[in-house]
Every structure is written in C-alpha cells, then in structure tokens.
Amino acid sequence: MAISKRVCVVLVAILLVSQRFASAEELPTVERASFPKDFVFGTATAAYQYEGAATEGGKGLSIWDTFTHRPGVIAGNTTGDIAVDQYHRYAEDLWLLKDLNMDAYRFSISWSRIFPKGVGEVNWEGVKYYDMLIKHLLELNIEPYITLYHWDMPQALEDSIGGWLSPDIVDAFTRYARFCFERWGPRVKYWITFNEIHSFANAGYSSGEHAPGRCTPPKCSAGNSNTEPYIVSHHALLSHAHTVDMYRKEFKDAQKGVIGITTDCTWYTPLNSSSNSDQRAAQEAIEGFLGWYLDPIFFGDYPASMRASLGSNLPTFTPKQVELIKGSQDFVGINHYSSMYATFNETNGEIIKTGYKDGVPIGGVTPSDWLFVAPSGMRKLLGWVRERYNNPIVYVTENGRDESNKDESLPLADQLKDPERIEYYHDYLQNVLLAIKDGSDVRGYFAWSLMDNFEWAVGFTVRFGIYYVDYKNGLARYPKSSAYWFQEILKRTENLS
C-alpha cells in the first residue's frame, strides 16, 4: 500500500471515530501523548496459538497438541500444529510489531518446549528459540512480558499425575518457573504466572470445550463439572503463590523485575438496573469470575458469595497457604473484551448471564457469541478493581475484537479493511483513559492480537489480528487498516504528562 493511501486510511478512520463523539461531552483524545508518561503499549500472543512447530526441535506434546487431533472438537478440524509458524518467523514478526510503534510484546513460553516431560531433562533447542526471541526483542528496544502458562500443560504431566487436578503439579510448575527465572530473568523484567485460570478451568473441566476436554459424563468421557474447575483453580493459585514467593526470595533483588498474574473478566450489569436482586446478581457474577482469583491474592480467601453458593465444592486454604498467597502480586493483568447482563433464575437461584435485554444486545454483536462491543465496561471493570482491591497496579493484558473470514473472492485490499476494529480499539482505549482519570493505576495496554491466529475451539474461523494472515498462501502477513491506525496514534511524540 502506498504511503498516501496509508495516511488516507488513518485520517478517515480517525475522522469517523471522532465524528461519533462530536456532540457528546468532551472525551479524551486517543493518542500516546494522552496517556501517562511511560505508559506501555504492546500486543499479546500465546505459544500454542502462534508458534506451530508442534513436534520440532525436541518439543514434547502439550494437552492442546493432543486435544486438537480429536475429530470434531475444533471448528474445521484444524490444529495449531503449524499455527502461524512464529517458531520460524519470529524475526519477521517482531519487525511487524516494531512497525506498529509498540513498546512491548507479551508472549507465553511453551512448557513442553522447555521440558518435554514437564520435569526433568531440559530441551536446549527449545531454550535456544526463546533465547533468540528475547534477544531480538531487546535489540529492537521492545520489552518482553512473559507469561509462564497459557493453557498448554505438558501431556506427560497430564498422563502421569493428572495435570492441574493433582497437588503435585505445584512442585512441577515451580521447578519450571525457576528454570525460566534463572535463564531469562537477567534480561526479562516482567513476569506473568498464569493467563486466565478461569478460562482453562471452566472450558477445560466444566464444559469440556477446551483441553483436556473433561466434564461430567456423558458429555465427556471423564470428569466432574461440579468439582474439578475449583480443584484446578485452587492448584493453579497455589502454583502462582509458590512461584511468586520463590521469585521474590531468590531472584527479585538481583534481577530487578516484577511478577503478577493475568485474570479475565466480562463486565456484568444488572438486567433491570432498578432491581436490588439483579444488582446483587451482577455483583456476584463479577465476584465469581474475577473475585474467584483476585480475592485470594488480595484477601487470602475466596469471595463469601462463592462460599455460600458452592459449599464444600470450593476448596479451602490452610493458614500457611493464606499467608503465602495473600499479597502475591506486584501487578494485576486484566483481560477484558465484553459486557453482559446478569439476573437470577427464579427457579433455582443461579445467575443467568446474557448479552440481550428484550431482544436487544447490550452492545455491538460480533462473530463470537460471548463478545459484545460495550466499551464503557472497560472503565467500570477497572473501577471495580480499583475500589475492591485498593487501587493495585494494573495492566490491560488483552483487549480486542474478532471478525469473520471475509469472502476470499474479494480483492486483498478489501479484506484488509477493518474499520470496526479501529472503532473498538479507539473506544476501549478511551475508556482506559477515563479509568485513569478516575484514579485507576493502569500502567499499560496490550492489544489482542498482533495477527490472526489459531483461536482455540473455533480454530481459524475468526480473525483477531491487527495483521492479516493469508492461510491459503504461505501464511503471508499483511497490515490491516488497524495497523496503520496504531502506527499513527503511537507516534513517538513528546508526552506532555
């Protein structure tokens, strides 16, 4: 695309977005200079969704490597065996990131690429890949933000001990984390223990839609949807707590880094705003989503509303574990995409979560039935975190929207147009700015995602990328309109704050 057309795309997009607010109250301009000094902009990715090379370079299998090869569990029976082949193309892809004027890159390490069996012998060829990835990032002056676990449990640990269902996983995870700190800690200053425990606990052990595909029979061959998500979450939280404790005692002073956890949450609003019952439903929905993980980290126990509704199905922390987990964060990562309504089911008292009220969606609909475009939810969720947890340091570690695959008969230039994504990013970033104005200590924002990729159970049927990946023609990467928009708003102009 010629430079003149690139500028035209950006200016038209900015004009369209600004016109929507011309008659509204004055709202902040979305550009780098509007954010606090040293605010970090980046994109987020995950190993299984990006790397490919599933059996190359000594890598062991993960639960996603095996799960995706079961017929019928992934849309189109696709897999992440190749994904977008970042294992071989990382140098090219990091230049794409640099071209966006981004400051940071959030990626995850494949546990089984480092330890093929989950523990024991190190795969040094896999280590070399991450050595080079980090080296290239730093040479480009891009800060690495490393997630230790983004859903890809080594299959060997799943087979030998039951993965997250076993308390023995805590020791295995901390051993893996120790190696990562020892190897890359001198160069990496930002660590995230887990990405979205809520997602892999529920989709992997309640609905069975994600690896390892467990839920109550007969829907799944094995599992217990009433207990296993809570056991899995409990062991993951204990793994987080032990890892943070180890990092602080053995590495933090020398390496000068920070460590936190990334959680996800939909914002819930009462179906009937004047109903006390619906207000309580919305509050308990957030507590059972975000509070499930952050309440133990900040207060030492699960939310009281979860204790009341789940009873003995919810595990307990020992006094020693409470001491270990409470305060186990230097920052909190928040992944936020969507908002929904909440109300109680009058028959069984369970919370109903829905994107519709009287047939009208809460926000713009997308190809994903869980993702509604409701930007004010970002500000409200960040405010909820600020008020409940005494204003912790927060990074928005994922935010973005999908689009369907477009008609491949269209010219490529038309397939690269994504005005709805520009609008989404603008409006959600504007609400990040409003949250900061409210007093939230938000330090950074990571867009999901750098480019189109393997999106778990829906495979390659939707696209979240700022860069387009041509799956039919050698995985070629092309900038979408949103890429030029990010280039423009993140120009390195003087920050006035």
pLDDT, one tens digit per residue, over 15-40 is 444 444 434 457 999 999 999 999 99
Q: Give one DSSP letter per residue of 285-309, joined into a string.
A: HHIIIIIHHHHHHHHSS--HHHHHH
74, 132 in Cβ contact below 8 A? no
Tens-of-pLDDT digits for all 497 residues of the chain? 444 445 444 444 544 444 444 344 579 999 999 999 999 999 999 999 999 999 999 999 999 999 999 999 999 999 999 999 999 999 999 999 999 999 999 999 999 999 999 999 999 999 999 999 999 999 999 999 999 999 999 999 999 999 999 999 999 999 999 999 999 999 999 999 999 999 999 999 999 999 999 999 999 999 999 999 999 999 999 999 999 999 999 999 999 999 999 999 999 999 999 999 999 999 999 999 999 999 999 999 999 999 999 999 999 999 999 999 999 999 999 999 999 999 999 899 999 999 999 999 999 999 999 999 999 999 999 999 999 999 999 999 999 999 999 888 899 999 999 999 999 999 999 999 999 999 999 999 999 999 999 999 999 999 999 999 999 999 999 999 999 999 999 996 644 44
Kindly tell me the sign of the dihedral angle through the C-alpha atoms of 65, 71, 73, 77. positive
Place of tokens 């009281």: 304
pLDDT value of position 17? 47
d(CA 332, CA 196): 12
What is the three-class DSSP state of 147? strand
Query: What residues are annotated to the active site?
Result: 196, 398
Q: Among 391, 143, 155, 377, which Cα is nearest to 266's?
A: 377
CA angle 386, 439, 264 (to 5 degrees): 40
H-run or E-run covering 493: none
Instruction: Give Cα 107 to chain centroid, integer Å.
Output: 10
Cα first-last separation, the chain: 35
Q: Are strands 258-264 and 190-195 parallel, antiparallel or unpaired?
A: parallel
Q: What phi-psi label fits residue 364: left (phi over 0), alpha (psi between -120 and 50 degrees) or beta?
A: beta
Percent of the chain with pLDDT over 70: 94
What are the tens digits of pLDDT across the range 38-57? 999 999 999 999 999 999 99
In sequence order, the β-bridge partners of residue 43 are 105, 447
Cβ atoms within 10 Å, residue 159: 14
Q: Are 126 and 86 in contact (CB under 8 A)?
A: no
